[in-house]
Amino acid sequence: MTLKDDNDLVTGPGAPAMMPRRRFWLLPLGLGLALVAPGARAQVDPSRAGEFIRKTGEELVAAINAQAPIGERREQVAAVLRRAVDLDGVGRFILGRWWRIATSDEQQQYQRLFEEMLIRNLSSRFGEYQGVRFTLGRVQARAEDDVLVSTIVERPNSAPFGLDWRVGEVNGQPRVVDVIAEGTSLRLTQRSEYSSVITRNSGKVAPLLDAMRGQIATLAAAEGR
């Protein structure tokens, strides 16, 4: 794993976070598996990716700015995210090498908590994003399978900032696989953070799940429901 340059990362779902030199003999085996793996990602068409982000962005902005109680708006945003984000792939990427150490029960719990945390994190910031607007910038096909769609996000009384969306193709559909705010990738930052929690708890996944549960409870309490 490298934190210096996200371009170098292996990003396929379930792909190893990094390939130690000593395990090169595993490479042919890994490639064989990748070829038969279902749901493998293919290059997404750039114009389709741009259109997908425009539509998703408009849906998100409409949900955030809607005149509805917070619980309702949160449900709307959650529905958009479930449709648009490769939650499975992103969740696995963030857990990285610890995915293989986790039991299948822990994996399931983790994916559920990961989804809820993403939605709660976003809904806790609805106030901050009231009146948000965005403009679509350039769309670049990347060397890997992904397409990077740039947007500029504008909020009232606040300087505009650049938000890039990394779009991959999952099972024939475009899906968001990462969000990059001013050069900082959300999934890389979160992977570093989760790995740190697990490492500091003697390499166990359960304490991370506990921390996630605690975090969700805190966010829910702060929101008042």
User: Which residue ranges make up the site for another protein (CB under 8 A)?
Assistant: 1-6, 17-18, 20-23, 97, 121, 124-125, 128, 152, 157, 159-162, 164, 180, 182-185, 188-190, 192-197, 199-200, 208, 211-212, 215, 218-219, 222
Q: Provide the angle, in degrees to the nearest 10, between the axes of the packed helices 104-123 and 87-95.
A: 110
Our CB check for another protein shows the closer of 165 and 169 to be: 165
DSSP single-letter state for residue 42: B
Our CB check for another protein shows the closer of 123 and 169 to be: 123
What is the closest distance, in whole angstroms, from the C-beta atom of residue 112 to another protein in the complex? 16
* Contact between 184 and 190 (Cβ < 8 Å): no
Our CB check for another protein shows the closer of 41 and 191 to be: 191
What is the closest distance, in whole angstroms, from the C-beta atom of residue 172 to another protein in the complex? 30
| C-alpha to C-alpha distances, 124 to 198, 213, 218, 223, nearest whole angstrom | 25, 16, 11, 7
Q: Cα–Cα distance between 196 and 219 in angstroms, integer?
A: 21
Our CB check for another protein shows the closer of 20 and 172 to be: 20
What is the closest distance, in whole angstroms, from the C-beta atom of residue 30 to another protein in the complex? 15
Q: Take residue 196 and report the two structure tokens written for it.
A: 């740190």
What is the closest distance, in whole angstroms, from the C-beta atom of residue 120 to another protein in the complex? 9
Our CB check for another protein shows the closer of 172 and 182 to be: 182
Neighbours of 218 (CB within 10 A): 12
What is the closest distance, in whole angstroms, from the C-beta atom of residue 56 to another protein in the complex? 20
The residues, any chain, with a CB within 8 Å of residue 190's CB and separated by 6 or more, are: 94
